[in-house]
Amino acid sequence: MIVKDRIESLRKELNEHNYNYYVLDNATISDYEFDIKLKELEKLEEENPEFFDPNSPTKRVGGEITKNFNTITHKNRMYSLDNSYSKEDLLDWEKRIQKNLGTTDIEYTCELKYDGASINLTYENGKFFSAVTRGDGFQGDEVTANIRTIKSIPLNLSDDFISNFEMRGEIILPLEGFHKMNEDRVANGEDPYRNPRNTASGSLKLQDSAEVAKRPLDCLLYQVVTNETKYKTHFESLNAARDCGFKVPKTITLAKSIDEVLEFVNHWDVERHNLPYETDGVVVKVNSLLQQEELGYTSKSPRWAIAYKFKAEQVTTILNEITYQVGRTGAITPVANLEPVHLAGTIVKRASLHNADQIEKLDVRIGDTVFVEKGGEIIPKIMGVDLSKRAEDSVETKYAEHCPVCNTPLVRTEGDAKHYCPNEFGCAPQITGKIQHYISRKAMDIDGLGSETVELLHKEGLIKNYADIYDLKVEQVVPLERMAEKSAKNMIEGISKSKEIPFEKVLFALGIRFVGETVAKKLAKHFTSIDNLSNASFEDLVAVDEIGDRIAQSVIDFLSDENNIEIIGRLKSYGVQLEVSQENLANQTNKLEGKVFVVSGVFHQMSRTELKKAIEDNGGKVSSSISKKTNFIVAGDNMGPSKLAKAETLGIPIVSEDDFIEMIK
């Protein structure tokens, strides 16, 4: 047998043994025999480098060093899920999707919600290509070398699956492996890890992939993302993925109704404690991929999926002190400082008290024994007070009257739950908070400049607002603590590159109260420049779709403030994009202005996403459901019969994909 054939034969055999052991839990060879074959392959590859393959089983042992993890934009956004906590929440969700789809003929899948670190795996031509963490959903860190060491992730696929696709899943640390790791750490005199979830997440960012390979990480897969239409349902695509080597848990179940969903929930609320890994709820999805596409997404989550969270664990502890935090908008958040207590795998020392009304409602006081749980098992919150343990000399909590940082008297406007510090340009947390928001990923996305560095730069007197960052020089930054020359150069380069960020993101980055990502996009598209927006009247602003009185007044207040006018003037002088580019303007028209479209069915010349963007680029609005306000329905193949009937009843014109393309020519 020639060398190349022997190498390929060993690779195939070792991949099969890995699959049998790590996915099927059915070893077909002893560890000793496996190691002998692996060493033979390593020797052959070393002697014959022309047959190098990044997906060889020999790469599973790691050894690649990653100093800096590249930030990669997701081809398909990784959305978060809406949460539900009761049958009523699920029934409300079901009503919404039935209304949007115009049918009650909907099948669901029920899957356990795995408690780990979300990952996006990309495969090209049947081979593992890259791995990126979820990050903020829009972009994450590339951790390909580390993920390649996880033996339950297939590196080469059989020919009968999809060629190019993404696989979504959760990197977990099984409980048995986690406990074994902690036993070893304690034996070596080291502190044990707190919980499997954080340990799994932290493992992905280790610089040495050989260290990652030593950890018993696993990967449970839950979604295939592709433009191909080979599979009709989510359930079918996952079964096919399992058959070709992916570790898709067999707990996934089909349900015909919410009652069947709840049967699944009730079963696993008890049985989850017998699983080899942690789970904190159930994910319910519409099974039909066509219906998923029809339902689409909100700005934050898919309409076709929802997470049902198991009841949170609750503990009692002592409230030692109430302190107050200042946010970037000046909003004051009261924080409960607690006697440390173990809760849902972590040590909890602090919990949010939200606002003055919540403190009054709970009548929570210093020294009280309080009930604490994690909201959605993530953020700790105080649920109540054990009044039977309250001291007789207990004193009612009086809410803070002055800013805890700058001592400015707090204000509270009518109808607002929060108190605010009005010292916007003189209160340190507000100054640094605004700059931290400006540089964040969803805003200006400045590489090399993080939150801690912002605080350090402010402390050293180098920056007082976000315009100041464009005046920074390498020689000013190098002397700072933990700042090498290369890091300083990367920061200055990142700041310079932010001048290319489009206007809609800059507008969001400015930090105007109530102007989030979606509102910023609408305002940028409508007014096209900061000058036009600054000159807009209250009436001009509220005339824009979905811009209400509160947002309009906030925009006017911000853009008429002398400090903000000066900062925006400086941003202009530095070359920051404060108007929509000519290229983007060229692709936009008002041909569909005032028209509301519903997109339904499968299309051939454009994807549904491209079609919706084309509607918006030409001034139209996309709606998810048919109503009297709908002007047109763009219908593709397999449009739902109930939607068709409703359109005919309301007399709404139905246009084809070709008709629509003609409309915008």
Residues noted as catalytic: 113
> 394: how many CB neighbours lie within 10 A of its CB?
14
Between 196-203 and 175-187, two packed helices, what is the crossing angle to 10 degrees?
80
Q: Cα–Cα distance between 197 and 178 in angstroms, integer?
A: 10
The residues near 220 (Cβ < 8 Å, ≥ 6 apart) are: 114, 116, 169, 170, 172, 247, 248, 249, 277
Vertex 368, ends 363 and 374: CA angle to 5°?
Answer: 80
The residues near 259 (Cβ < 8 Å, ≥ 6 apart) are: none
Cβ pair 536, 527 in contact under 8 A = yes
Q: Cα–Cα distance between 409 and 475 in angstroms, integer?
A: 39
* Tokens found for residue 519: 């509102």
Here the contacts of 558-567 (C-beta below 8 Å, separation 24 or greater) are 558/510, 558/512, 558/513, 559/512, 559/530, 559/533, 559/534, 560/534, 563/424, 563/425, 563/465, 564/510, 567/465, 567/466, 567/467
Q: Cα–Cα distance between 169 and 117 in angstroms, integer?
A: 8
Cβ pair 183, 134 in contact under 8 A = no
Closest CA to 150 of 166, 172, 168, 129: 172
DSSP string, 176-221: HHHHHHHHHHHHTTPPPPS-HHHHHHHHTT-SBHHHHHTS--EEEE
Pseudo-torsion of CA 88, 90, 92, 97, nearest 10°? -170
- Max Cα-Cα span within the chain: 88
CA distances from 447 to 33, 490, 653 (A): 47, 7, 49
Cβ pair 493, 469 in contact under 8 A = no
Q: Cα–Cα distance between 282 and 309 in angstroms, integer?
A: 6
The residues near 152 (Cβ < 8 Å, ≥ 6 apart) are: 18, 22, 23, 218, 219, 247
Q: Cα–Cα distance between 256 and 105 in angstroms, integer?
A: 9
Vertex 449, ends 445 and 450: CA angle to 5°?
Answer: 95
- Provide the residue type at 264 as one letter: F
Indicate the DSSP class of residue 156. Answer: B
What HEC string does 358-395 produce?
HHHHHCCCCCCEEEEEEECCCEEEEEEECHHHCCCCCC
Q: Cα–Cα distance between 334 and 366 in angstroms, integer?
A: 13
Closest CA to 330 of 386, 265, 253, 413: 413
The residues near 635 (Cβ < 8 Å, ≥ 6 apart) are: 600, 601, 644, 654, 655, 656
Query: 652: phi > 0 → left, psi -120 to 50 → alpha, else beta; which?
Result: beta
